[in-house]
């Protein structure tokens, strides 16, 4: 009986304390073509970037692990609402229309549209009106599509699945110009991936908004944890360190 006592004590202690609870793993939707926010790193065959670093840091603070899944931008919200993923962490603007469908975290980073044209085009474009009558391109599902179409200024607004597709058509002369997320365009141009185009630095963005992490409408507890983690990461400088790591300029709203 005496030899059983230590074993019984151990069992009692385990029952009292219980086994350590493994943190849950949440599925995170991100796009593979949104440099530097989210992109496919061919060396590791994984999605990397600003929003991946951020959601990983948020998860560490909030008590969950992340599994990042590559999805086309236009499929992110449908995948979230269908419960195929649990979060979206990508270059997705917080807009009134999207807030009707999903819930967003506190803003992370603000910017507006950027404009690319062929390198041989040296005109200083400042607004949509400077391209009146031209054929331009934009990415499906982005906040820039409707303003471009509703302006009535363009001969045609062509819609593309990815930003590299837009850049390729500007590069080849199929488009007069392309509109997309300014930091993403700037990153592509800076990396020299498309030497035949230039980013127009005289453009005054007309669609400026913030990106954030999004969850399903009913996931209020998860959203509260994400916001609390974001507040801490902003306060301790982690968010700024991530932005600096990926070479992003100051937020457009200085938030």
190 and 247 Cβ atoms separated by less than 8 Å = yes
Structurally, the chain folds into a number of domains equal to 2
3-state secondary structure of 179: strand
Provide the pLDDT for residue 20: 52
Residue pair 77/83 in contact by the 8 Å Cβ criterion: no
Residues 156 and 79 grouped into a single domain: no
| pLDDT for 21 | 62
**pLDDT digit of tens for each residue in the chain (255 aa)?**
444 444 544 444 444 455 556 789 999 999 998 999 999 999 999 999 999 999 999 999 999 999 999 999 999 999 999 999 999 999 999 999 999 999 999 999 999 999 999 999 999 999 999 999 999 999 999 999 999 999 999 999 999 999 999 999 999 999 999 999 999 999 888 888 889 999 999 999 999 999 999 999 999 999 999 999 999 999 999 999 999 999 888 787 644
* Residues 233 and 172 both lie in one domain: no
Q: Which domain holds residue 169?
A: 113-199
In a shared domain, residues 38 and 158 = no
Residue 216's nearest CA partner among 123, 96, 98, 70 is 98
> Is the residue at 181 inside a domain?
yes
What pLDDT does 181 receive? 94
Do 105 and 29 share a structural domain?
yes
pLDDT of residue 250: 76
Query: b/e per residue, 128-158, with b = 16+ CB within 10 A?
Result: bebbeeeebbbbebbbbbeebeeeebbeebe
Indicate which CATH number applies to the domain containing 63: 3.40.190.10
């Amino acid at each position: 009986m005496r030899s059983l006592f230590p074993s019984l004590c151990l069992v009692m202690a385990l029952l009292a304390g219980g086994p350590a609870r493994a943190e849950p793993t949440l599925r995170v939707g991100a796009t593979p073509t949104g440099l530097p926010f989210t992109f496919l790193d061919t060396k590791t065959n994984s999605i990397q970037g600003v929003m991946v670093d951020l959601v990983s840091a948020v998860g560490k603070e909030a008590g969950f692990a992340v599994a990042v899944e590559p999805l086309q931008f236009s499929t992110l919200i449908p995948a979230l609402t269908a419960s195929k993923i649990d979060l979206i962490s990508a270059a997705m603007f917080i807009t009134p229309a999207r807030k009707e469908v999903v819930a967003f975290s506190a803003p992370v980073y603000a910017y507006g549209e950027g404009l690319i044209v062929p390198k041989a085009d040296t005109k200083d474009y400042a607004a949509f009106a400077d391209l009146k009558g031209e054929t331009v391109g934009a990415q499906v599902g982005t906040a820039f599509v409707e303003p471009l179409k509703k302006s009535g200024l363009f001969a045609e607004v062509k819609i593309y699945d990815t930003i590299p597709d837009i850049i390729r058509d500007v590069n080849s002369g199929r488009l007069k110009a392309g509109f997309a997320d300014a930091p993403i365009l700037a990153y592509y141009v800076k990396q020299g991936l498309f030497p035949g185009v230039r980013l127009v630095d005289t453009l005054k963005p007309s669609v400026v908004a913030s990106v954030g992490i999004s969850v399903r409408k009913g996931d209020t507890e998860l959203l509260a944890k994400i916001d609390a983690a974001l507040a801490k990461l902003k306060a301790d400088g982690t968010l700024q360190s991530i932005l600096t790591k990926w070479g992003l300029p100051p937020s457009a709203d200085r938030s």
